[in-house]
Amino acid sequence: MVAGDTMTGNTNTLTNLAVQFTILSLFAIGGANAAIPEMHRLAVDVMGWMDDRQFTDLFAIAQLAPGPNVIIVTLIGYKAAGLAGAVVATAGMCGPTCVVAFWAGRTWERFKHARWRIIVQAGMVPVTLGLIAASAFVLARAADGHSVLAFAITAATAAIAFTTRLNPLWAFALAGGLGLIGWV
Amino acid sequence: MPENVSENAVLEPPKAPTLLQLFTVFATISLYGFGGVLPWTYRVLVEERRWLTAEEFNELFSLSQFLPGPNTVNLSIVFGSRFRGARGAAVTFFGLIGPPVVIISLLGFLYVRYGEIEMLRGALTGIAAAAAGLLIAVTAKMALPLFRRPFGPAPFVAAAGFIAIGLMRWPLPWVLLALVPVSLALAWWRATR
């Protein structure tokens, strides 16, 4: 079926976007990037909204644009059903989990001084840090596979951001420029 | 509000952010966020605005990560509601997600129309390298509180998580299923000793 060409086709696609991303979001522990493989399966294999190369392109565009990682979902929605698709997919991915987060944040705050909460927190924080350290490592390996200069950019940015209060946006601009002229 | 010196008020920063501040700060964070917003969230909330201490940020981010859905979106909701209730949560959410959704829709339009991103791939390679470096720096900063005091099992739990996901590339659900109970048991043991 060629989605988006007919009214019913488009409505079906919108419904699918809303339902599929709502379901996906409720199982997405560890953030949007942890759910990328499942999004790929959904968008390419199950729903046929795009082919493999297009998915890779969209992922690259989402990385290039500013904003939280979840905007890959906006882009998938846009590709599948235009502007309405972008809105519906984003709302599906964020809406229900926002309600959960609001309620959980309130509950968490209420038990601020409870002994069980302090213990749970002491147990959760190091796991979280291990996960972030892992994604930093995986991202650095993927980004630095290209060249020695890429590795140098990563190392320099890490050192500058850790030791100084300089705005890292400068490193980003410089690195982007070097990449644009083909040096990285 | 400043007169009300309750136990909670002592821990809060001197001035709670207004709705407008919440919106502009999260919009700024989102527009800075090339290659992920987490490092910028840390930089702005902890280092620039000092609305959170390093420990409070870790606690907030940890909660956001264990909740389903996008991490920093969850963080924006919990952070906004903590200061300004439901309206605060709505404002931080739209600040964080609004500007990027507009930009990405424009890029999506250009891509669907022209489908050429070859020239941008080079820039992306460079930015990805810098973004990885920034994430490494922020991870190191976030890890510092773990090593304070006579430190307990926390650094070892973090190291185990790093090895399992980063080096061994084991699936996340299984790692969490194994590591979270162990970490909770260790924290409980340490607290009741």
H or E stretch including B44? none
How sure is the predictor about B9, in pLDDT bands with cuts at 50, 70 and 90? very low
How confident is the model at residue A8, as a pLDDT?
64
Most trustworthy range by pLDDT among A35-44, B24-33, B108-117: B24-33
Q: Which chain B residue lies closest to A159 (C-alpha atoms)?
A: B137
Condensed to tens digits (0 to 9), the pLDDT of residues A21-52 reads: 999 998 888 778 778 888 999 999 999 999 98
How far B11 CA lies from chain A's nearest CA (Å)? 11
In chain A, what residues touch B150 (CB-CB under 8 Å)?
none
Q: Which chain A residue lies closest to B98 (C-alpha atoms)?
A: A67
CB pairs under 8 A between A and B: 378
CB count within 10 Å of CB A175 equals 32
Our CA angle for A121, A127, B138, nearest 5°, is 100
Lowest-pLDDT choice from A172-181, B7-16, B135-144: B7-16
Whether pTM exceeds 0.80:
yes
How far A58 CA lies from chain B's nearest CA (Å)? 8
Percent of chain B with pLDDT over 70: 91
Alpha carbon B34 to chain centroid, angstroms: 14
How sure is the predictor about A147, in pLDDT bands with cuts at 50, 70 and 90? confident
Lowest-pLDDT choice from A11-20, B9-18, B102-111: B9-18
Q: Which chain B residue lies closest to A163 (C-alpha atoms)?
A: B137
Which two structure tokens, joined as six digits, stand for B42? 């840390």
Which two structure tokens, joined as six digits, stand for A153? 């950019």
How confident is the model at residue B77, as a pLDDT?
97
Average pLDDT, chain B: 88
pLDDT at residue B8 is higher than 90: no
Between CA A8 and CA A12 the distance in angstroms is 6
ipTM of the complex: 0.86
Condensed to tens digits (0 to 9), the pLDDT of residues B72-99 reads: 999 999 999 999 999 999 999 999 999 9
pLDDT at residue B112 is higher than 60: yes
How confident is the model at residue B76, as a pLDDT?
97
Minimal CA–CA distance to B123: which of B42, B62, B35? B35
Lowest-pLDDT choice from B55-69, B94-108, B143-157: B143-157
- Are residues B73 and A139 in contact, defined by beta-carbon separation less than 8 angstroms? no
How far A29 CA lies from chain B's nearest CA (Å)? 5
Condensed to tens digits (0 to 9), the pLDDT of residues A150-180 reads: 999 999 999 999 999 898 889 999 999 998 8
How confident is the model at residue A28, as a pLDDT?
84
DSSP letter string over B3-44? T---HHHHHS-SSPPPHHHHHHHHHHHHHH-TT-SHHHHHII
- Domain boundaries, given as residue ranges, for chain B: 7-144, 149-193
Which two structure tokens, joined as six digits, stand for B39? 């490092």
